[in-house]
Amino acid sequence: MTLLWIFLIAVAVMLLFPIVVAILGSFKTNLEVTTGATFLPAEWHFSNYAEAWKKANFALFTWNSLFIATATTAGTIIVTTMAAYAVDRGSFIGKKLYVGLQASTMFISIGAVVLRPQFDLMVALNLNESLWGVIIILISAHATSFFMLIGFFNGIPRDLDEAAYIDGCNFYSVYWRIVLPLLRPAIGVTALFAFRNAWNEYILPFVFTMSKPALQPLTVGLSNLRYGLGAASELQLMLAGACLSILPILVVYIFANKSFMQMTAGSLKG
């Protein structure tokens, strides 16, 4: 037991140490961050946050990130719950092929190679100059959420479906009235992962907003803080901006975690 606690504490320290360093670095001067001579700031520069907010145009970039993450989350929930319900409860031609294609996207990663065809596709749809092109592509990368929901669907008794059919429900009303309410914990997990992935995405929004700086999300806008006047590196502002960008994810996690605990407690009492 003692070894287990030592191991867990060591893992926690390794995970938290970079975050602590980033937070402390956001209050230092650029010289202190560059040299790394001190762990704690010699003088706490809270103005770094105000300067980072102003220079990086945080209000606009935060709105863009929230729009991308929120729309992606909503779209992912709709697509994955409907797809998982159809695969788990329905029977159609090409079902095994569809599941196999979903699985292949999880194990075959070609990274930046697909950026060009994705961009060309959005150009054909006239979505290359809006954030909707980014959102649609992010929603399409839902294989992990799909298989996670399949596991949750397997835990919902089919007897509930049969009882609903007897009461006059059809295939679609069972999904809306019976399955979705029971799937709330899974939807919460899916939403959290989808929001996090969309919020942290960098390459895709960077490619789509090269010619439209006003559409850049925080992940792309933060890169503008790296260099100041005369191309001088301003790492302290980047760290302050990074700390600010973490806050929405923490808020989402806190609320999602609270809802998970409430739902779990309710299910146990029932």
User: Mind listing the pLDDT tens digit for each residue in 72-118?
Assistant: 999 999 999 999 998 988 888 888 898 888 888 777 665 667 788 88
Q: Which helix (H) or strand (E) holds 8?
A: helix 2-25
Give CB contacts under 8 A, 24+ apart, made by 111-114: 112/203
Contacts of residue 152, defined as CB under 8 A and 6 or more positions apart, other chains included, come to: 84, 183, 185, 186
> Given phi > 0 = left and psi -120 to 50 = alpha, else beta, which region is 94?
left
Q: Which pLDDT band holds residue 266 (cuts at 50, 70, 90)?
A: very low
Q: Which residue ranges make up each domain of the chain?
A: 63-225
Q: Which CATH number applies to 63-225: 3.30.2000.10, 1.10.3720.10, 1.10.260.40, 1.10.760.10?
A: 1.10.3720.10
C-alpha pair distances (Å), 99 with each of 94, 137, 184, 264:
9, 19, 23, 29
- Other CB atoms within a 10 A radius of the CB of residue 155 amount to 9
Across the chain, mean pLDDT equals 82
User: Mind listing the pLDDT tens digit for each residue in 171-192?
Assistant: 888 888 888 888 888 888 888 8
Q: What pLDDT, on a 0 to 100 scale, did the predictor assign at position 81?
A: 92
User: Mind listing the pLDDT tens digit for each residue in 135-175?
Assistant: 999 998 888 888 888 888 888 888 888 888 888 888 888 88
